Structure 1
Amino acid sequence: MLAYPSAPYLTTEALTAFIRAALAEDVGDGDHSTLASIPAEARNRARLLVKDEGVLAGVALTRLILQEVDKELEMTELLPDGSRVRHGDVAFTVAGPARSILTAERLLLNCMQRMSGIATYTAQLTAYLAGTKARLLDTRKTTPGFRLCEKWAVLIGGGVNHRYGLFDMIMLKDNHVDYAGGITAAVQATHAYLARTGRQLAIEVETRTLGEVQEALTVGGIDRILLDNMSPAQLREAVALVAGRVPTEASGGITEAALPEIAATGVDFISVGALTHSAPILDLSLKAY
């Protein structure tokens, strides 16, 4: 287990499985460009150049990628994850078999550019919440197969992870509520399911109106209320109605410009899918020197 107590999904097993799958996708039966042009005995070095401004992420993952490709590769970290970087900074150097450096290059860059972009955007949006109690949450709107890295990047950028998947929290969204016959029926069925299966999972209920907020409070036995697509005025009313009995989460079409006003309503969390589905990459390059 790696030393990330706030992220239980970051296990050695999960990271190794991700890296091996990614290498299998990229390398296939061999990095033939490298095998054809670079002598097996060649040894070289390279450095990770920052060509943009933002928050660095993926350094710890890169160390694992390099070790998976070739344990002879030696990485010297100069800037850790979470560092504020600008054009011209060098994040790390790597030395060892030249073939291995070239084979690892694209995977580590793909991961670091994407993760750094997400961390940068998360930090940017988190700054809008200054002076309020609101915390920025990610969502499950992630890239299939890359969720681990995307959610890790949100943490590095100062955000908070929501549930990792469908298995680690119960979230009764609008379709669940409508299919079940209402909030009361959905929550009661959920408690029966948890008792029947012996599971202990937090329950969050999505609400669309103040009436649904009241119904969620009346049925009880829930751990968070999601306030979906509500205006700032409605959010303030909902927060007053909840009165601190359970945490509240604002969600649905939240824009960067709206964040300060939404945070000021008193909600505990604001979930933004754009953190993982719309963040631009941070420009990075691995160069021989």
Structure 2
Amino acid sequence: MSAETRRGLAEAGLAPEQVCRIVQNALVEDLGPELLDVTSVATIPAEQTDTADVVARADGVVAGLAVAAAAFELAGALTAGGRTVEVSVVARDGARVARGDVLATVTGPTRVLLTGERTALNLLSRMSGVATHTRAWADALAGSKAMVLDTRKTTPGLRVLEKYAVRAGGGTNKRMGLHDVAMIKDNHKYAAGGITAAYRRVRAAFPEVPVQVEVDTLDEAVEAVEAGARFLLLDNMSPQLLTDVVTAVGDRAELEATGGLTLADAAAVGATGVDFLSVGALTHSSPILDIALDLRTD
């Protein structure tokens, strides 16, 4: 992986070695155990080189350009004896792009360009789709203090990339996994014997770990705050009930609306005074942004 690509990943808050593993796994999935692109090997001389453009086929928000660059570079390392592939990124992550915009150019062995094409585009299109969807929510919440949050409803193996795409689209990340934040949900409450008991058990076991508590009623919200919780998930509450909780809790805890939220209702929910809206659909239901690779023919 080139120094420029590593720098681009690091600037995005992505660990280059982690991205390398994700991309290599995707390439091997495509190339098989013999690391072979039978069509490209059969039709294109090994010494042929070309330039191709990575082009948006639809309007949206781009994310993952350094990841796509890594895919092309690693395709060369795996299949062409390390022959150099040069990637020039034209757009920037988080930018709005229009159909026909060139996002990056790639120059190198033609076989490598076509071998890396699908992996690079799969990741770039997926991440850009998440960023585009997130931007729609961020725009809908403009004028309120509320921010849109992601969840753990991510594609297995791609969580760090999809959560980065949320950030690029103007959203913010919740917990990365089960290890970094304790989240007391309904099943935990029932198993532990109630909100207060569950909260105290988490605090005793992991005193330094942030704790979030899911509540369904105004009484539960008050109980959670009085137990010490400073972050509440307000599950499937109406705008009026959200407003009531905001009034009762005040600034004693950060408040997140969650469950069954739609883009059409986002502004109304944001206007209740909650701090966050969590939307699993950002990562589990975002359509891709159509992006293609076009070899230059002139």
**Structure 1 residue corresponding to 2:51, chosen from 41, 45, 49:** 45
- Equivalent residue, structure 1, for 2:261: 254
Instruction: Name the counterpart of 1:183.
Output: 195
What is the SS of the residue equivalent to 1:161?
coil
Closer/same/farther in 2, CA of residues 4 and 236 from structure 1, 3 Å limit: farther
Q: State whether structure 2 residue 78 is matched by structure 1 residue 78.
A: no
- Following superposition, which runs of at least 4 residues in structure 1 exceed 3 angstroms of deviation? 1-8
Q: Which residue of structure 2 lines up, in the alignment, with residue 204 of structure 1? A: 212
How far the C-alpha of 1:7 sits from its partner, in A, is 7.1
Q: What is aligned with 2:27?
A: 23
Counterpart Cα distance in 1 of 2:161 and 2:205:
32
Cα deviation, residue 67, structure 1: 2.1
CA displacement at 1:35 relative to structure 2: 1.7
Query: Normalization by structure 2: what TM-score?
Result: 0.91
Q: State the shift of 1:276 in Å.
A: 0.9
Contact kept in structure 2, 1:136 and 1:160, CA below 8 Å: yes
1:184 is paired with a residue whose SS is helix
Determine the C-alpha separation between the residues in 2 that align with 1:91 and 1:7.
17
Aligned-pair identity in percent equals: 46
Q: Which of 132, 156, 169 does residue 120 from structure 1 map onto?
A: 132
Deviations along 1:110-155, whole A, 9 cap, x unmatched? Answer: 1111111111111111111111110100111111112122111111
TM-score (norm 1): 0.94
Gaps of 5+ in 2: 1-5, 77-81
Does residue 1:213 correspond to 2:226, yes or no? no
Distance between the aligned counterparts of 1:55 and 1:33, measured in 2?
A: 32
* Structure 1: distance between partners of 2:87 and 2:217: 54
**Which blocks of at least 5 consecutive residues in structure 1 are unaligned?**
none
Deviations 1:150-169 (A, max 9, x none): 11111110000111111111
Residue 101 of structure 1 corresponds to 113
* Number of the residue aligned with 1:130: 142
Change (3 A) 1:165 1:6: farther
Q: Distance in 2 between matches of 1:42 and 1:239?
A: 64
Aligned length: 283
State whether residues 214 and 241 of structure 1, in contact with CA within 8 Å, keep that contact through their aligned partners in structure 2.
yes
Q: CA 1:185 to 1:4, structure 2 compared with 1: closer, same or farther past 3 Å?
A: farther
Give me the CA root mean square deviation.
1.6
Asked whether the 8 Å contact 2:62–2:132 carries over to 1, the reply is: yes
